[in-house]
Amino acid sequence: MNQTNFPQNRRQFLVRISLLAASLPAILVSIPLLGALLAPLIRKKKQQWRKVASLSDIPAGSTKLVTFVNADPLPWAGLTAKTAAWIRRENDDTIIAFSANCTHLGCPVRWESEAHLFMCPCHGGVYYEDGAVASGPPPKPLTQYLVRIRGNEIQLLTAPVPITEI
């Protein structure tokens, strides 16, 4: 009687071992996939004020590119942990800050001081000095940062890239 049950038990044992061997790689592959899917739900977007320049660095009537570390850099981010903004100091009291990226496809915009325009080199997007779209494919104005002045410091309310609309 043991000999008739033995092949059935052996077959069940081999099936279970095969299922276990096949499920282990599936579990190992699913861990990073689940992490990537759940990360946006788990990670909170931390906004924080960052010093990006001193008032003395940006004279009234000028525009300057400033770089700073992203609000939520990852340990392996390297150079991508840095981001940039254009600071426009209209006069002694009015400071405006724009994201350095075009709202069309995210290319970095440059400031053309003679024309008083922000230009996107990728697809010809043009923005006025107040960030409004002048021409080209950009669907909306340059994204603005909230700005505050503390003492002699110009600070921006930063968020993890991509920055959120204000």
Largest CA distance in the chain: 98
| Homologous superfamily of domain range 48-158 | Rieske [2Fe-2S] iron-sulphur domain (2.102.10.10)
Give the C-alpha separation, 95 to 4, whole Å.
Answer: 88
Mean pLDDT of 15-19: 89
Mean pLDDT of 98-115: 90
What is the residue extent of each domain of the chain?
1-43, 48-158
Q: What is the dihedral of CA 121, 89, 129, 50, to 10 degrees?
A: 50
pTM of the full structure: 0.67
Give me the chain's average pLDDT, please. 83
Residue 86 has pLDDT above 90, yes or no: yes
Contact predicate 102/150, CB 8 Å: no
